[in-house]
Amino acid sequence: MKTLVKGLNANAKNVHNRTALHYAVAGKNKEAVQLLLQRRVKVDQKDKYGVAPIHLAAWFGSLEILKLLVQAGAEHKVENEEGLNIMHCAAINNHTEIVEYIINDLQMKELDKDDQSGHRAFALAAKHGCVEMLEMLMEPYKMATVKPNKRGDTPLHLAASNGHLDAIQLLLQSFDTRDEVNMDGETALYQAADNGQEECVLALLEAGCDPDILTMAKCSALHPVSERGDTSIVQILLEYKAFTDFQNQHLAAPLHLAVKNSHIPVIHSLLDAGCNINVTDKRSRTAMHLAAELARIEVVEMLLKAGLDLTLQDRQGKTALGTAARADEVIIVDMIIKAERYYAWKTANPELNESVHSEYPLTFKLDHRFGTRQLRSMAWRLAYKLLKPGDWKRLAEHWGFTKDQVSAIEEQWTGQHSYQEHGNRMLLIWLHGEELAQKSPAKELYQGLILTGNTKAADKIRTEAVTASKKSCSIS
């Protein structure tokens, strides 16, 4: 090592303007540092980021090397590009012995100053979760401060956004700091939620932080976690009575964001908490409009079961049904029509509401059950083999389908024989309602065909029903 130093330029720089002294200090190589200092290297040489060797000694907690640099005349107050001095570097990395040396031996308490972002040593210690440093700066040095940085973030913000639970608890116990907002209107609780820091969110709520303070973008803490699908934090916020229906600057509520991203557990939690399922965004869209347009079948099912208002229109005058039809989402169209017809029947028959789902759980999805296969086969044969163009519409009108429902079914055009698919879909929707109402579909279908002038089809259906019944009896 000594031979190498003698033959080389000890102050040579690499592409980052770093000298051998930088690397010796960063590597905590005391012997190399001593040899270089004997060669009278420049102790205050900065790299391209403004970092001097004394910064590195403080950063890596090398007290003995720091003392060697000081003895060699290194500038104590030197700052890097970010305005960090040796006290900042030590605070970031929890090197309490370095800070003790700076204050007690160097008598340079004045190094406790703002960096370029407005952070003092205490704030940087909070940002990096350095609890021992925080405690020491509070007692005995009286250097604690909850002063915000240039963005308005307090030490509590910095600890919360970075998930430092111990630091948060210390700050909450030591200072009356809770709901301060930064320049974006964000509280420490909001930042903890936004960054997915579940334990920190819970600690802040337990300390009395308000979950309903809105940011400048009019977001509550529920907005980012609902959009991200962070069910655990959503549930914690709801347990602490966070308001579910704040609308951000785009008038999107947490439910809109959860639906848009298909976060089913979050949607379930929001619905259970009693959120307004009919809240509309800046384009007057409900969550159902979004789900219909995006073809989220599971989400549509959840929303339909929650009993939302399907008559609401967006700015283009489209209901959720119209939105699904425009998007050519056939399955969604049929699900919505089933729901519309079910809720209309439920309103007209309130006395039957208690027992209606005892045998058949409520669902608006396609029916693939073995027990309904025969009825579904009958509907298919009727639509594809027996009904003529226009017949299905007369049946639909007889059974109380609205014009909008018929139009939505008819919107999907697949060719000259589209009426067959339209008729089959209409019949399956009708069968869904008949089953929920616990009626006899075969009898109702026969009567409907007779009343709409389809006597031939009615006789054919009755014959098939009788034949099927006889087969069933002979098998049994």
pLDDT (0 to 100) of residue 27: 97
Distance CA 9, CA 40 (A): 11
* Residue at which a domain ends, from 154, 179, 209: 209
- How large is the angle between the packed helices 373-381 and 455-475, nearest 10 degrees? 150
Domain-embedded: residue 36: no
- CATH number for the domain spanning 179: value is 1.25.40.20
H helices within 147-296, ranges in order? 155-161, 165-174, 188-194, 198-206, 222-228, 231-239, 254-260, 264-272, 287-294
Give the span between the Cα atoms of 377 and 366, in whole angstroms.
14
Q: Tell which of 156, 175, 209 closes a domain.
A: 209
Residues of the chain with pLDDT under 70: 1-7, 352-360, 465-476
Whether residue 287 is contained in a domain is answered as no
How much is the pLDDT for 406? 97
159 touches 192 (CB < 8 A): no
Q: Output the pLDDT for position 439.
A: 83
Distances (CA, A) of 258 to 181, 231, 252: 25, 10, 10
> Domain for residue 325, yes or no?
no
Q: Given CA atoms 13, 16, 17, 21 in this order, what sign does their dihedral have?
A: negative
pLDDT at 81: 97
Residue 308 located in a structural domain: no
Among candidates 425, 423, 430, which has minimal Cα distance to 388?
423
**Residue 454 resides in a domain:** yes
Structure tokens at 72: 């060699």
Residue 361: CB atoms within 10 Å: 7
Query: Are 78 and 84 in contact, with CB atoms under 8 Å apart?
Result: no
* Integer angstrom CA distances of residue 216 from 132, 185, 243, 261, 468: 35, 5, 17, 23, 67
- 437 in a structural domain: yes
Tokens of 177: 């700091």
Supply the pLDDT for residue 471: 52
Q: With left for phi above 0 and alpha for psi between -120 and 50, is residue 453 left, alpha or beta?
A: left
User: What's residue 475's pLDDT?
Assistant: 40
- Tally of domains in the chain: 2
Give the per-residue pLDDT at 476: 37
Q: Compute the distance between CA of residue 207 and CA of residue 175 in angstroms, rounded to an integer.
A: 12
- Assigned domain for 193 exists: yes
What is the three-class DSSP state of 470? helix
Domain that holds residue 161: 118-209
Name residue 173's amino acid: Q
Query: Domain ends where: 174, 209, 244?
Result: 209
The pLDDT value given to residue 410:
94
Q: Which of 142, 193, 141, 144 is nearest to 167 (CA)?
A: 144
Report how far residue 293's alpha carbon sits from residue 281's, in angstroms, rounded to the nearest whole number. Answer: 14
402 located within any domain: yes
Report yes or no on whether pTM surpasses 0.85.
yes
CA distances for 28 relative to 12, 13, 36, 70, 443, angstroms:
20, 19, 13, 16, 91
Place of tokens 């929650």: 306
Please tell me the number of Cα atoms within 13 Å of 220 on its side-chain side. Answer: 23
**What is the structure's pLDDT at 474?**
44
Q: Which residues contact 107 (CB under 8 A, 6 or more apart)?
A: none
CATH number, domain with residue 445:
1.10.533
Q: What is the DSSP string of 145-177?
A: -----TTS--HHHHHHHTT-HHHHHHHHHHS--
Give tens-digit pLDDT for 125-159: 999 999 999 999 999 999 999 999 999 999 999 99
Q: Which of 229, 159, 249, 168 is nearest to 203 (CA)?
A: 168
